[in-house]
A and B are shown apart, each in its own frame.
Chain A
Amino acid sequence: MKYTVDDNGYYGRFGGAFIPEMLYPNVEELRENYLQIMSDPSFQKEFNDLLENYVGRPTPLYKAARLSEKYGAAIYLKREDLNHTGAHKINNTIGQILLAKRLGKQSIIAETGAGQHGVATATVCALMGMECKVFMGKLDTERQKPNVERMKILGAEVIPVTSGSMTLKDATNEAMRYWIGNPKDTHYIIGSVVGPHPYPDMVARFQAVISQEMKKQLKAQTGSENPDKIIACVGGGSNAMGAFYEYLDDLDVELIAVEAAGEGVNSGRSAATTALGQPGILHGSSTLLMQDDDGQVIEPHSISAGLDYPGIGPQHAHLFDSERALFLNATDEEAMIAGIELSKLEGIIPAIESAHALAALSKLEFKKEDVVVVNLSGRGDKDLETYIKWGKY
């Protein structure tokens, strides 16, 4: 079984590049060049140098003693929350902006939901002196004011999107529309393992640094590169794909993806795509998609804006389809409880996205000798208001 992309841009029955002809030259330019650019030693050097000296990599792999004791297994946290800008998102934006420069692009666009990818994009644009436009649903600009201001301080233009439901999927639509109208000098930095081929593969490769480091760190700390289980949350799925990537063919490692169940899988307010979705086509790829019987996309709900997406990366859809990964979900409440628990037990306030991965610990059975890695994709600073509103701490 092959879990990475095939020559046609597919993962099993998912993937592809379902884009209007107007976008074909842009996407084709990327497809023709991304592998060659990424494997160029001078690109690698520049990328790794920035990850080390600017982002702060490698991020620690920390054995969480009190959490381990509570769940009866050796639980390690991959500390992506300690990256510059507070989450794993910057691994991808650093990679893509270097790539955009080599393609001769002068300006950058991005979509953002909660604002984390927008901030990570605005950051690298400031770093490289490139013009930056971030599309953000108007509702999200109101819900995530501090990140809007953060992007503006970094010199980006934030464009509130008033079409459709005014959230992440509409911000993505609007970024694509802008790209259609400005095809030559603009690169679109997609923030997750979604979109038309080659985006899911390119973003996965940039995020793969997470599992590359995990292998070395586990070897040093436990004597074996492979853990028994890796747990990560999935919205579009970029942090999970980064944590899974180097282990896809190591079938002794159980991969566990945790989706946001919102107020409950069957509550009508959920973002658990594999539980609720049907095969469909959105934002350029064939994948699992939350939609009604008429094929209209359903607006998802999660307490965590970063998981609030009606689709899932096509590679994840394939991992689900092929049963290579186990897909669980956690409700808003379960995630909040798990977030507070980590704060009290380990002194780490996690992003609410990452708290969904932690919530899976109480749904799994462990043997005492199990080595479990939870990918702690982001820190909770941005979520303080949600924690305060939740109040039960």
Chain B
Amino acid sequence: MNRLNHLFNTKKENILNVYFTAGFPELNSTVQIIELLSRHGADIIEIGIPFSDPVADGPTIQASNKRALDNGMSLNLLFDQLKDIRKITQIPLVLMGYLNPVVRMGVEKFCEKCKEVGIDGLILPDLPVKEYRDHYQETFKKFGLSNVFFITPQTSEERIRAMDEATDTFLYMVSSPGITGAKSYIAESQIDYFTRIQAMQLKNPALIGFGISDNNTFMQASKFSSGAIIGSAFINALAQDEKLENSIPLFLNSILKKS
């Protein structure tokens, strides 16, 4: 069974998915970040493949992408860094990235490498559901990779149902119209939307992301879903204190309110 499915079968609430950009803050931080995140309370780790043109990302993640590329990060190097990761941790790992580097490597070869290193799922924001079903699904399935779709406050019920059908792990609920970035509160209108999706009783669990930044927003989002995804706030924490063995436990404790 896919590690993601195993997680969602055994844990029903307050699931914490943490995103980081591979190659940030240092070229070779990847393995250490994964190890520290899995040791200090993250449930899923989303590894960002840096891209020159991250169109769905706000300033924080744009900057981490740029720095990662300047550090010399590449998709090939990332797979190299991850080659022994399953000897260290069994935490579910998801790769997040834009489609172009994947297409450039070749979808089949990319999926094969994902399987080799032990990736469980993929988040590709510029791969729409129809394109996925027509051209990608078969290859992803062949290599045991689950594709995760975004739903937004504007996504129609019909499309949400189609995405729920097309995936078998979780849905990524974008908390508000906008790009990625840390915010410190959740508004009333967002709660209406969360409640609406909750009432649809989808077959897959949903995780809420975009604008989740601290214990308060994490706990609030988790009330309406299986948990939440944190990206920009974590990147900010890494940028403030690059001693990972300090900043990562501190950050996770602040989100999960452990002392």
Q: Using a CB–CB distance below 8 Å, which chain A residues touch chain B?
A: 16-22, 24-25, 163-164, 169-170, 173, 176-177, 180-183, 278-284, 286, 289, 291, 293-297
Contact = CB atoms under 8 A, between A and B. Distances in A.
B97 to A, nearest CB: 9
B165 interface: no
Contacts of A24: 128, 152, 154-155, 159
Contacts of B66: 163-164
B100 A297 contact: yes
B128 A18 contact: yes
Nearest to A16: B131
Given A22-B152, A24-B155, A164-B52, 15 more contacts: A18-B131, A20-B126, A22-B174, A24-B128, A25-B154, A163-B62, A173-B55, A176-B55, A180-B56, A180-B179, A181-B179, A282-B53, A289-B100, A291-B104, A295-B103
Contacts of A169: 53
Contacts of A183: 154, 177
A286 B127 CA distance: 11
Contacts of A176: 55
B75 A295 contact: yes
Contacts of B155: 21, 24-25
A17 B99 CA distance: 12
Contacts of A163: 59, 62, 66
Interface string B89-130: 000000000111111110000000000000000000111100
B128 A21 contact: yes
Interface residues of B, number: 39
Contacts of A22: 56, 150, 152, 154, 174, 177-179
B47 interface: no
B41 to A, nearest CB: 29
A341 B91 CA distance: 67
Interface in B34-91: 51-56, 58-59, 62, 66, 69, 74-76
Contact of A177 (B55, B131, B151): B55
A294 B75 contact: yes
B140 interface: no
A164 B53 contact: yes
Nearest 3 Cβ contacts at the A-B interface: A295-B104, A295-B101, A21-B150
Given A18-B127, A25-B154, A173-B55, A279 B103 contact: yes
Given A177-B179, A295-B75, A21 B151 contact: yes
A181 B178 contact: yes
A327 B167 CA distance: 42
B149 interface: yes
A356 B176 CA distance: 45
Nearest to B178: A181
A280 B105 CA distance: 10
19 contacts: A18-B99, A19-B126, A20-B126, A21-B125, A21-B151, A22-B154, A24-B154, A177-B55, A177-B58, A177-B179, A180-B178, A280-B100, A282-B53, A286-B103, A289-B100, A294-B104, A295-B105, A297-B52, A297-B53
B105 A20 contact: no
Contacts, number: 105
B56 A20 contact: yes
A296 B51 contact: yes
Contacts of A180: 56, 177-179
Nearest to B54: A173
Contacts of A286: 103
Contacts of A173: 53-55
Nearest to B57: A177
A279 B250 CA distance: 44
Contacts of A20: 55-56, 125-126, 150
Nearest to A294: B74
Contacts of B154: 22, 24-25, 183
A19 B102 CA distance: 15
A228 B187 CA distance: 63
Contacts of A283: 53, 55
B101 A296 contact: yes
Given A21-B128, A24-B155, A282-B100, A296 B179 contact: no
Contacts of A164: 52-53, 62, 66
A295 B100 contact: yes
Nearest to A181: B178
Contact of B69 (A17, A177, A293, A296): A296
A89 to B, nearest CB: 23
Contacts of B150: 20-22
Contacts of B104: 278, 280, 291, 293-295
Contacts of A25: 154-156
Most buried by B among A173, A177, A183: A177
B103 A281 contact: yes
Contacts of B102: 295
A281 B179 contact: no
